[in-house]
């Protein structure tokens, strides 16, 4: 058998046939491209929001801290100024100063607490539903202020209340009170339903 | 402006009705506590003085004695007099009450009792008005000490 008579094609071996079959099958099944792996997420995106229960609750609490309508001394005047339109506490969802402590979340101890008044302050706090926060406003509520050594003045609201935020000043300007409220917002955002004691101070 | 009466003049007038009740008539008219009620009623009801308005009641601790001070004014004559009385018993100082003469003295006498500890005999409701029941002592006394809380 010379070269001219030799067949142009050699007979295919089995392994070659298997290989060709596999390639052809793959080609037949590859008419359509696979969809992108995150295509399902692209459908969800823009339509769904994922969050945690903590964050959702905290956002709700943060933007609806209703203070109790409760003033003790000159600091209460600054607190009222904070509520009116010049400083506008309504920006934080706090414009509802509740006349009943049962509808309030935040007790602003705004002024000097005398020992004779302290049981009433404590009763207001105890009537507030959980979660609740206490903000000590001004030197007197923090430490008794200039009256700290008096026989009639309680040296600091933290003697009978768990205080979350201290706002110094005599009295603090509305700006300072607003800053204290924003610090309270930060504190609320850091709280968790799993650490209830911390969240409710 | 309310014109102050000269205590000496008032004392001279009082001598006619109540001999030997005036202790001192310098800056103010000081009378014996036993006669305070009579003198006060006279100053209120006599047409010459007509001190129908009790401005203020207060008390001072001089350590030796307590001095209870009454500022009296007359609406009609627009004049005033400072009436004082001294009580020397430090353990149980008692002064007659003037509530029956000037009802406005009610709370002020209670405040004096509350802070200085002078009792007012004949007061209808002699108890503390500012401090709470059970408060130890009377804080405006000069020898008052308290424990820092």
Per-residue confidence at A200, pLDDT binned at 50, 70, 90? very low
- Give the per-residue pLDDT at A201: 45
| Nearest-Cα residue of chain B relative to residue A156 | B149
CB contact under 8 A, A116 and B148: no
- DSSP of chain B: -PEEPPHHHHHHHHHHHSTT-EEEESSSEEE-GGGHHHHHHHHHHSTTT---EEEEEEEEE-SS-EEEEEEEE-TTT-EEEEEEEEE--SSS-EEE--TTT-TTHHHHHHHHHHHT--EEET-TT-S-SSSPTT--S-TTSTT------
- Categorize the per-residue pLDDT at B140 as very low, low, confident or very high, splitting at 50, 70 and 90: very high
Kindly determine whether residue B149 and residue A152, on different chains, have CB atoms separated by under 8 Å.
no
- H-only helix segments in chain A: 14-29, 39-44, 53-62, 74-83, 118-127, 138-143, 174-190, 196-199
Tell me the percentage of chain A whose pLDDT exceeds 90. Answer: 50
Chain A interface disruption, residue of B128, B134, B143, B149, most A CBs within 10 A:
B149
64-123 in A: which are within 8 Å (CB) of B? 115-116
pLDDT one-digit tens code per residue, B60-113: 999 999 999 999 999 999 999 999 999 998 889 999 999 999 999 999 999 999
* Average pLDDT value for chain A: 87
d(CA B55, CA B82): 10
Chain B residues within an 8 Å CB radius of A149 = 148
- The answer to whether the Cβ–Cβ distance between B131 and A152 falls below 8 Å is yes
| Separation of CA B49 from chain center | 17
Q: Does A152 touch chain B (CB under 8 A)?
A: yes
Determine, for residues A152 and B146 on separate chains, whether the beta-carbon distance falls below 8 Å: no
Confidence of residue A6 (pLDDT cuts 50, 70, 90): low
Q: Per-residue pLDDT averaged across A112-127, rounded?
A: 92
pLDDT score, position B146: 82
3-class SS of residue A164: coil
B132 touches chain A (CB under 8 A): yes
- pLDDT number for residue A199: 44
Q: Is the pLDDT of residue A174 over 90?
A: yes
Nearest CA in chain A to B147: A151
What separation in angstroms does the CA of A45 have from each of A38, A42, A53, A55, A93? 10, 5, 20, 20, 30
Contact yes or no for B80/B2 (Cβ under 8 A): yes
What pLDDT, on a 0 to 100 scale, did the predictor assign at position A118? 92
Which residues of chain B make contact with A117, given a CB cutoff of 8 A? none
pTM for the full model?
Answer: 0.74
């Amino acid at each position: 058998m010379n070269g001219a008579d030799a067949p142009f094609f050699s007979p295919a071996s089995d392994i070659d046939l298997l290989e060709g079959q596999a390639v052809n099958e793959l080609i037949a099944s590859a008419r359509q491209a696979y969809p992108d792996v995150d295509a399902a997420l692209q459908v969800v995106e823009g339509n769904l929001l994922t969050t945690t229960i903590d964050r959702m609750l905290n956002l709700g609490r943060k933007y609806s801290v209703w203070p109790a309508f409760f003033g003790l001394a000159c600091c209460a005047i600054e607190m009222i100024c904070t509520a009116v339109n010049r400083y506008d506490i309504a920006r934080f969802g706090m414009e509802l100063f509740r006349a009943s402590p049962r509808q309030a979340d935040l007790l602003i101890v705004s002024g000097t607490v005398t020992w004779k008044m302290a049981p009433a302050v404590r009763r207001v706090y105890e009537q507030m539903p959980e979660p609740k926060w206490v903000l000590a406003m001004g030197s007197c509520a923090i430490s008794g202020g200039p009256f700290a050594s008096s026989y009639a003045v309680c040296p600091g609201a933290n003697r009978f209340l768990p205080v979350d935020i201290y706002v110094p000043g005599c009295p603090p300007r509305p700006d300072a009170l607003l800053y204290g409220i924003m610090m309270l917002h930060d504190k609320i955002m850091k709280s968790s339903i799993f650490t209830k004691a911390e969240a409710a101070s | 402006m309310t014109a102050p009466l000269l205590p000496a003049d008032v004392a001279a007038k009082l001598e006619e009705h109540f001999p030997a009740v005036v202790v001192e008539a310098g800056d103010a008219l000081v009378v014996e506590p036993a006669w305070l009620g009579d003198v006060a009623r006279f100053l209120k009801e006599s047409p010459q003085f007509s001190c129908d308005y009790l401005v203020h009641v207060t008390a001072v601790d001089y350590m030796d004695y307590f001095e209870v001070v009454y500022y009296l004014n007359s609406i009609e004559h627009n004049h005033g007099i400072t009436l004082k009385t001294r009580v020397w018993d430090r353990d149980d100082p008692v002064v007659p009450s003037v509530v029956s003469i000037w009802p406005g003295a009610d709370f002020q006498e209670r405040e004096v009792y509350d802070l200085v500890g002078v009792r007012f005999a004949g007061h209808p409701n002699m108890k503390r008005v500012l401090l709470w029941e059970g408060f130890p002592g009377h804080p405006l006394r000069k020898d008052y000490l308290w424990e820092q809380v």
